Amino acid sequence: MSGNIPERAQVHARVLVGAIGPSYSGLIQADFDIYRRNYRAVDRITFECVADLFQAIERAYDIVHLFIPLASGGRLLHADRALVGGDLIAKCCECGVKVLWIANENQPDDYVRGFRAAGQKINVVMTILRNGSNFDEFLQRLLDRVSAGATFVSAWTALVPQTQGDWQARLPSCVFFAGKPDAQLFA
């Protein structure tokens, strides 16, 4: 016996970059291209309604990166029944999603009221302001770290230190909930 401990098997992450409706076509393509630089299995889908999105989430994605407009109170637009962000989080948790990223800009109050994630085993990123090309640069730097083996939380905290500074102007404005701190998303 050599005494070497075998490395944990690395499972390659599956990514869904999606949108409800055609309004975000340019942004969805930009974010899809960034994911494709880091991951092999990336699907890009434009959904007509939330029900179609929920069906797609059942296909065992690790990262769900969405463009989904919100109505007052964090309600999901294009839903055939009253759904809030918390329902989306619950569906993602049920299906084993490790990271849910709402990539389009929404109002902070709508996130606070509709996206309750306390106690859920998932990392949730909610975008308030993309901040132009700064979003693309941040996403690329984050995925470079995460696809190489860093946990999502450690990669995030390395890029977004919890101190004040002029570096903050070069980042998107996002709310991050770390409900699955050990999540690894290998390329």
Render pLDDT for 61-78 as a digit per residue (tens, 0 to 9): 999 999 999 999 999 988
pLDDT tens for 27-47 read 999 999 999 999 999 999 999
CB 129 within 8 A of CB 182: no
Q: Is residue 40 part of a domain?
A: yes
Q: What is the band of 10 on the pLDDT scale with cuts at 50, 70, 90?
A: low
- Report the alpha-carbon distance of residue 95 to residue 90 in Å, rounded: 9
Q: Tell me, yes or no, whether 68 lies in a domain.
A: yes
> Is the pLDDT score of 165 beyond 80?
no
The domain in which residue 104 lies consists of 14-178
Instruction: Return d(Cα 13, Cα 2) in angstroms, integer.
Output: 31
- In-domain check, residue 110: yes
- Assess whether pLDDT exceeds 80 at residue 7: no
CA angle 33/181/3 to nearest 5° reads 100
Number of domains in the chain: 1
Confidence label for 11 from pLDDT (cuts 50, 70 and 90): low
In a domain, 55, yes or no: yes
- Compute the distance between CA of residue 34 and CA of residue 77 in angstroms, rounded to an integer: 26
How far is residue 95's CA from residue 97's CA, in Å, rounded to a whole number?
6
Q: Is 184 part of any domain?
A: no
Residue 9 forms part of a structural domain: no
Residues 6 or more apart whose Cβ sits within 8 Å of residue 91 = 54, 57
Question: Quick check: is 77 in a domain?
Answer: yes
Instruction: Judge whether residue 8 has pLDDT over 70.
Output: no
- What was the pLDDT predicted at 89? 97
pLDDT in tens, 104-145: 999 999 999 999 999 999 999 999 999 999 999 999 999 999
Q: Which CATH number fits the domain that encloses residue 110?
A: 3.40.50
Q: What percent of the chain has pLDDT over 90?
A: 79
